Amino acid sequence: MYPLVLLHGFPFDSSMWDEVVDLLGEEGIPTIALDAPGFGFSEVPEGEPCLEDAADAVVATLDDLGIDRAVLAGLSMGGYIALATAQRHSSRLAGLALLDTKASADPEAARENRLRIAAEAPGAGSAVVADMVEKLLGETTRELDPDLVARHREMLAAAPVPGIVWAQRAMAARPDRMHVLEDLTVPGLVVRGTEDALATQEDAEAMVHAMQAHDGDAELVLIPAAGHMTATEDPEGTAEALAAFWRRCVG
């Protein structure tokens, strides 16, 4: 039985998935949440930052656990890592779920902003990402759930500087990987919060269209009243979408 492997967004760690993991566990779905390089218990690798190293680390963990194939799900930065994994290690995937992310490379302005954050982080610390909460969370969450907003502010404040620097530089260097989705031979899923200000509906539809390029099995699931952090804003809806997708992949 293939496990569901979860990859978190920037600048959090695998604990971002805790509520989703608990809900999937209640459904009997084997789930593993991994830390990206520089976050949680994962160290920053040597050399120039690149998402390919993160992808190789995912597969190395599967090897260590004796897992041949897995259903891979990544949110935001985790989606970028999942795409790199699909490109480099396609035979290890039993399914690919992309949440609140995109397959395209950064436009120049976004790339320059990432490099600016990476350059400022050693001096400014986690304050360099403090204002991200307004973009990460949907309007509904910001208006109706102050406790969740406060929780995200705390997580942003705890973001490790080495991870911030590594991830921003790695994401800035990532190429367009839409062609990876066009070549996908396993089921695909795209999940998007309807209030996501960072990953657009156009991005989501483009990924699904690419997954279906060769009559591929792919679908788009929208999470109402959620922003970029569907896993924390609506863990129930996110878990439901992932559970249904996992069953499709292993059934």
Q: What string of DSSP letters covers 162-222?
A: HHHHHHHHHHHTPPP-HHHHHT--S-EEEEEETT-SSS-HHHHHHHHHHHTTTS--EEEEE
pLDDT of residue 128: 97
Q: How far apart are CA 179 and CA 158, in angstroms?
A: 36
Q: How far apart are CA 121 and CA 102, in angstroms?
A: 25
Q: How far apart are CA 159 and CA 181, in angstroms?
A: 31
Q: How far apart are CA 143 and CA 213, in angstroms?
A: 39
For residue range 122-176, what is the model confidence (pLDDT) as tens digits? 999 999 999 999 999 999 999 999 999 999 999 999 999 999 999 999 999 999 9
pLDDT of residue 191: 99
Q: How far apart are CA 199 and CA 100, in angstroms?
A: 6
pLDDT of 233 higher than 90? yes
Nearest alpha-carbon partner for 10 in 141, 147, 165, 115: 165
For residue range 204-230, what is the model confidence (pLDDT) as tens digits? 999 999 999 988 899 999 999 999 999
User: Would 244 be classed as within a structural domain?
Assistant: yes
User: Would 78 be classed as within a structural domain?
Assistant: yes
The pair of structure tokens assigned to 183 is 């070549």
User: Would 131 be classed as within a structural domain?
Assistant: no
User: Would 190 be classed as within a structural domain?
Assistant: yes
User: Would 188 be classed as within a structural domain?
Assistant: yes
Structural domain boundaries, residue 10? 4-105+174-250
pLDDT of residue 238: 99
pLDDT of residue 251: 85
Q: How far apart are CA 191 and CA 226, in angstroms?
A: 11
Mean pLDDT, residues 17-31 taken together: 98
Enumerate helices (H) and strands (E) in the chain, giving the number of each.
12, 6
What CATH number should be reported for the domain holding residue 87? Answer: 3.40.50.1820
User: Would 209 be classed as within a structural domain?
Assistant: yes
pLDDT of residue 216: 81
Q: How far apart are CA 217 and CA 181, in angstroms?
A: 11
Domain total of the chain: 1
User: Would 120 be classed as within a structural domain?
Assistant: no
Mean pLDDT, residues 74-89 taken together: 99
User: Would 114 be classed as within a structural domain?
Assistant: no
pLDDT of residue 124: 96
For residue range 84-108, what is the model confidence (pLDDT) as tens digits? 999 999 999 999 999 999 999 999 9
For residue range 177-205, what is the model confidence (pLDDT) as tens digits? 999 999 999 999 999 999 999 999 999 99
